[in-house]
Amino acid sequence: MSNDYLIDRDGKKYEVIIGLEVHAQVLSESKLFSTSPTKFGGEPNTQVSLVDAAFPGMLPVINEFCIKQAIKTGIGLNAKINNKSIFDRKNYFYADLPQGYQISQYKDPIVGEGSVVLDLSSGSKTVGIERLHLEQDAGKSIHDIDPKNTLVDLNRSGVALMEIVSKPDLRSPEEVNVYIKKLRSIMRYLGTCDGNMQEGSLRADVNVSVRKQGEDKYGTRCEIKNVNSIKFMQMAIEHEANRQVDILEEGGKIDQETRLFDTKKNETRPMRSKEDAHDYRYFPDPDLLPLEFSNDYVESIKKEIPELPDQKKTRFIEKFNLSPYEANILVSDLDTSKYFESVIENSDVKLSSNWITGELFALLNEKNLEITESPISAKNLSKLINLIKDGTISGKIAKTVFEMMADGDKNPIDLVKEKGLKQQSDPKELEKLIEKVINENQDKVKEYKSGKEKLFGFFVGQAMKVSGGKANPQIVNEILKKKLK
Amino acid sequence: MSNIIDLTLSELVSNIKNKKISSNEATSAYVERSKKSKNLNAYNEEAFDIALKKANDFDSKPDFNKKLPGIPIAVKDLFCTRNIKTTASSKILNNFIPTYESTVTQNLWNEGSILLGKLNCDEFAMGSSNETSYFGNVISPIDKDLVPGGSSGGSASALAAKLTPATIGTDTGGSIRQPASFTGTVGLKPTYGSCSRYGIVAFASSLDQAGPMTRNVKDSALLLEVMSSFDNKDSTSVDFKRPMYSKDLSKDIKGKKIGIPKEYRVEGMSEEIEKLWEDGKKYLKDCGAEIIDISLPHTKFALPTYYIVAPAEASSNLARYDGVKYGFRTVGDNLIDMYEKTRSAGFGDEVKRRIMIGTYVLSSGYYDAYYLKAQKVRRLIKNDFSNTFQKVDAILTPSTPSSAFKIGEKSNDPVSMYLNDIFTVPVNLAGLPGISIPAGLDKKGYPLGLQIIGKSFDEQNILNIAYSMEDKINFKFNLKEWWMNE
Amino acid sequence: MSIDLKTVKHISKLSRISLDDEKAKKLETDLNSIFKWIEQLNELETENIEPLSSIVETKLRLRKDEIKSKNIREEILKNSPDENKDFFVVPKVVE
């Protein structure tokens, strides 16, 4: 492919191999093994139960909904759902790990192999999913409040996470960008994870290795822990891949290690706290039994699965005649697709698509808003589009109306009436107006008639100007052509 | 009427119900006796004043429909008790005051019982002699320099010395049955899943089970009836219809098939134990039961299996004791240093030894050779029992290979200490119920016990068998109150 | 298989229990005698045996997704060795 991402050192080209372990917080009311709330942003340690803080004699009891969410996500990833899975303890000591172990799934995860299709500018690409398993989140260590100590907030301790492990199928920071967005889109469609990266609901460990172009064998990989934005993931990969290439170019060897991305210095460095914690001593959690469910249970969940982005895209292309590019933009975010479908209920599809991906996106972007916070409702945008379609206003006027609508979601029909913006399409009225323009510009008429046909545009402009932009440009054109013969 | 402290639990209950004895009288009697018995070192924490207050509260508004109306009971210091210090006899939990109650103790209080205090035990229930307690070893009332057994040693000692009318312990590899056997009392380990583990300081989660320790079989039936409940807070708690063990207690065991496993006739077993076992068979025959020779071929592998499984689980269960959230902490230069110093100073030698064993058997490169192997052998041991229970209704074995040993006698040789649990451990590995009843005395005059092992959730059956045998055995031990100070 | 002092120290590191040399040597002796005894399991052929990790034969019970736990911060921090009223406190960690 022409747009391969390769690292070049004096003509020697290196390929970058990337695999992601995405940690997606499960959308649920209560935690995976306790009944404390999962809500983000609470006062420190106010959402902590005796179980979450690992008091003596406390025991885990699993949340049914989290299991369902994991199965749903597995279905969304076209993955194998395992009817029997095991919860294991991953043993290590850390300040924000109160039990001294994390309950996770090791050998027998709830979801097995699956795949995700990415839409890249070069075409589509399938990325393999290795597995998805459920595990507990840890608490939060805070290093910058107290100069001498680390403070620990356990609000997040025990919240359910899905760890989605990809195969090492990604090849560039851009593919990582598209992959994360696609995963997030699927999970938002399913309602299994809100994908909010600022709040840490979606983070990833990034595995990076490099190899000379054309080689089959993977190089030694490094794992960059806990990167919490797509931008940082991309920066971390860039840096890490270049670091590895530099080492290889100098004849060195890559050490398999866990690294941390320093966002301030834009570099990765070895993680000190993980140095000697490599032996996790996984074993089945004796406080829990194997998790088992029937095929019928999985089938009943399948019935609840909504239309997912890929299917929606196909439908948009086939039913509405949208281009794959347009369809992709409209389906990538569930709320955008909902907005779009709501607008086209009563309006022209093509115009709707143009207005949403054009004017509306620009507006949202400028104001830094999500589509759910759009200052213009789907209902009113639909009205505006109908005003354009039936010729009540011109496209140009529509832009003015659109701007006015943004201030308090105003009804475009009212605005057009109030401001008298209705397009003048009455030929008699327009004829009068055009006659006036012709009379006042006799010199230009002469020039035009003597062959300077470019001046036609000038007359159109004048007519529009005199009408205050409201004249129907098509009719103006027709009349002018007649009059100037 | 005889002395209050000489009454069995069931007798005390009926005396209180008949208003012959008040809760205050009963509680006072036990408080007084406990105060005079400090030489035994049975208590970690006394709750005497609160107990007396609660007894008065009960007497002022008695509810005689309760199963344990106003009955004072001291419990093993492994059960978390609300607002009462709970230490698991470890320095690392020193000064830990739970804000919650274990399900099993809550069940006792719900039936009208009153907490007398928390009883000493081996640290984190790891031990067979109560010598690993941070608060010092417990002395058996049977004789001056004798261990009471362990890990529920404080419970056994307090029960045998009549400092409590009954008590509760926990049993991971014999920690109820072995000390019961050593002190001439009755101890029952229920089927795994019968009593909730919620709020009990965990040792080995797949083996731990709470159970009653009493002066006779009827009392065990009563106490089990109260303790056992289905609990949503414990994922391994089993939802089954729990019988009224005490009401349904019967001496009719005619036609019951009792298995005698040949593998329990271990090398070097004393003649006394042989005779005890023979006597047991005779009593059973006298009751109309049928004796059948059986084989549990993997018996000898039970102990080594246990010493992989239990420490592995313990090494993980005890990781939460890190000086951060509760308990003891040593200052350190950094986080890791703080962990290492805290845990080194907070745990005793036996606990450290087991954490190390557990960490080793789970560590990379050794998991398959040890932990996985042990899980497989555990399956074989369980299968031994399930096969056997196709043919018999219960199994009779000695409870321990010997009577109680002297303090310090085995504390320098871990393996010989571990061998003490040879007859009790297989029952935990298979999750079965087992009861130890006093069955005789050895040459030194120390008590010996017999164990009856039943099918899963068949506690009623082993209680009935024990009840019948108890009658025939008619165990007597002349308790000399040598430890009391006036 | 014998356990050497280096292994003992490694396990002690993994267990987060510091050991002085004397204790480490004692443990080396203890562990070797214990593991020598444990090795008898190797007499058994277990190739095709399914490992048993839970004795309870029922299915894992599932809980409804309901919030039942309230804010009990005071209770949670009450037993903490540090005085901080909002947080658990540990020595400064460098990641």
**Which residue, among A122, A105, A240, A101, has the nearest Cα to A161 in the 3D structure?**
A105
Cα C32 from chain centroid?
Answer: 20
| CB-based contact, B323 to chain C, within 8 Å | yes
Nearest Cα of chain C lies from the Cα of A23 at a distance, in angstroms, of 19
CA atoms within 13 A on the CB side of C34: 27
Q: Are B123 and B404 in contact (CB under 8 A)?
A: no
Beta bridge partners of B441: B447
The nearest CA of chain B is from the CA of C65 a distance in Å of 14
Q: Quick one: average pLDDT of B86-114? A: 97
Q: Is C51 part of any domain?
A: no
Query: How far is Cα B366 from Cα B360, in angstroms, rounded to an integer?
Result: 7
The DSSP call for residue B111 is T
**Inter-chain CB proximity B362 and A50 less than 8 Å:** no
CA distance B327 to A55: 11
Angle at A313 between CA A308 and CA A318, to 5 degrees: 130
Please tell me which chains touch B, using 3 or more CB pairs under 8 Å as the contact test: A, C
Q: How many CA atoms lie within 13 A of A261 on its CB side?
A: 28
Q: What pLDDT sits at residue B274?
A: 94
pLDDT digits (tens, 9 = 90+) for B427-469: 999 999 999 999 999 999 999 999 999 999 999 999 999 999 9
- Would the pLDDT of B1 be above 90? no
Q: CB–CB of A57 and B233 under 8 A?
A: no
Determine contact: C48 vs chain B, CB below 8 A. no
CA distance C6 to chain B (A): 12
In a domain, C12, yes or no: yes
Dump pLDDT digits (tens) for B310-366. Answer: 999 999 999 999 999 999 999 999 999 999 999 999 999 999 999 999 999 999 999
Find all residues with CB under 8 Å of A370, minimum gap 6, and list them. A335, A364
Q: B-contacting residues of A 40-69, CB under 8 Å?
A: 50, 53-62
Regions of chain C short of the pLDDT cut 50: none
| CATH code for residues A427-483 | 1.10.10.410
Cβ neighbours of B98 in A, within 8 Å: 55-57
Residues B336-345 as b/e (b if ≥16 CB within 10 A, e otherwise) read bebbbbbbbe
| Calpha distance A96→A93 (Å, rounded) | 9
Chain C hits for B372, CB-CB cut-off 8 Å, are 51
Of B23, B37, B89, B151, which is the active-site residue?
Answer: B151
Q: Which residue of A has its CA nearest to C88?
A: A152
Helix A456-466 crosses helix A427-440 at what angle (to 10 degrees)?
Answer: 120
Question: Distances in Å between the alpha carbon of B39 and those of A272, B9, B131?
Answer: 52, 24, 15
Q: Which of B67, B76, B118, B218 is catalytic?
A: B76
Per-residue tokens: A215: 């080689």
Which H or E element spans position B355?
A: helix B349-362
Q: Which residues of B touch A (CB under 8 A)?
A: 80, 86, 88, 93, 96, 98-100, 102, 197-202, 204-206, 232-236, 312-313, 315-316, 318-320, 322, 324-326, 335-336, 339, 359, 362-364, 367, 371
CA B186 distance to own-chain centroid = 10
Q: Is B472 a catalytic residue?
A: no
Which residue in B236, B353, B375 is closest to C51 by CB distance?
B375
d(CA B450, CA B453): 10
Specify the CATH number for the domain of residue C37: 1.10.20
Domain map (residue ranges) of chain A: 6-301, 309-419, 427-483
Enumerate the H helices of C39-81 as residue ranges: 73-78
Distance (Å, rounded) from C-alpha B135 to C-alpha C26?
23
- SS3 category, B311: helix
What confidence score (pLDDT) does residue A272 get? 66
- DSSP for A321-386 reads ---HHHHHHHHSSHHHHHHHHHHTTTS-HHHHHHHIIIIIHHHHHHHT--GGG-SS-HHHHHHHHH
What share of residues in chain B are helix, strand, coil (percent, to 5)? 40, 15, 45
pTM for this model (two decimals): 0.92
The verdict on a CB contact (< 8 Å) between C90 and A66 is: no
Element (H, E) at B117: strand B114-119
pLDDT of residue B267: 83
Question: What element of type H or E holds C33?
Answer: helix C21-38
Domain annotation for chain B: domains and CATH numbers: 1-486 (3.90.1300.10)
Q: Where are the alpha helices (DSSP H) in B80-204?
A: 103-110, 153-160, 177-183
Whether C70 maps to a domain, the answer reads: no
Q: Count Cβ neighbours within 10 Å for each residue of A57-92 and write b for 16 or more, e otherwise.
A: bbbbbbbebbbbbbbbbbbbbbbebbeebbbbbbbb
- What is the three-class DSSP state of A127? strand
pLDDT at site A276: 56
Whether residue C48 lies inside any domain: the answer is: no
Contact B367 A50 (CB under 8 A): no
pLDDT tens readout for residues B336-349: 999 999 999 999 99
pLDDT digits (tens, 9 = 90+) for B220-234: 999 999 999 999 999
**DSSP string of B442-465, one letter each residue:** -TTS-EEEEEEEE-TT-HHHHHHH
**Considering just the CA atoms, what is the radius of gyration of chain C in Å?**
23
- Per-residue pLDDT at A2: 42
Cα distances (Å, whole numbers) of residue A225 to A105, A154, A272, A337, B384? 19, 20, 12, 33, 48
Structural domain including C24 reads 5-43
pLDDT at A391: 83
Residue where the block lists tokens 């020598």 = C36
ipTM above 0.90, yes or no: yes
Bridge partners (DSSP) listed for residue A203: A23
Q: Which of B376, B411, B456 to mutate to test the interface with C (most CBs of C within 10 A)?
A: B376
Q: What is the C-alpha to C-alpha distance for residues B58 and B53, in angstroms, rounded to an integer?
A: 9
Residue of chain C nearest B360, judged by CA positions:
C11
Does the annotation count B229 as an active-site position?
Answer: no
Q: How many domains does chain C have?
A: 1
Instruction: Kindly state the DSSP code that residue A37 receives in the 8-state scheme.
Output: B
Q: Give the pLDDT score at B6.
A: 97
Q: What is the pLDDT along chain A (485 residues), one digit of tens a residue?
A: 445 899 999 889 999 999 999 999 999 999 999 999 999 999 999 999 999 999 999 999 999 999 999 999 999 999 999 999 999 999 999 999 999 999 999 999 999 999 999 999 888 999 999 999 999 999 999 999 999 999 999 999 999 999 999 999 999 999 999 999 999 999 999 999 999 999 999 999 999 999 999 999 999 999 999 999 999 999 999 999 999 999 999 999 999 999 999 988 888 998 865 555 579 999 999 999 999 999 999 999 999 999 999 999 999 999 999 999 999 999 999 999 999 999 999 999 999 999 999 999 999 999 999 999 999 999 999 999 999 998 888 888 899 999 999 998 999 999 988 888 788 878 888 888 888 888 888 888 888 888 888 888 888 888 888 888 888 888 888 888 888 87
Dist. CA B387–CA A135, nearest whole Å: 38
A245 min Cα distance to partner chain C (Å): 25
Whether the per-residue pLDDT at B98 is higher than 60: the answer is yes
Residue B2: pLDDT band by 50, 70, 90 thresholds? low
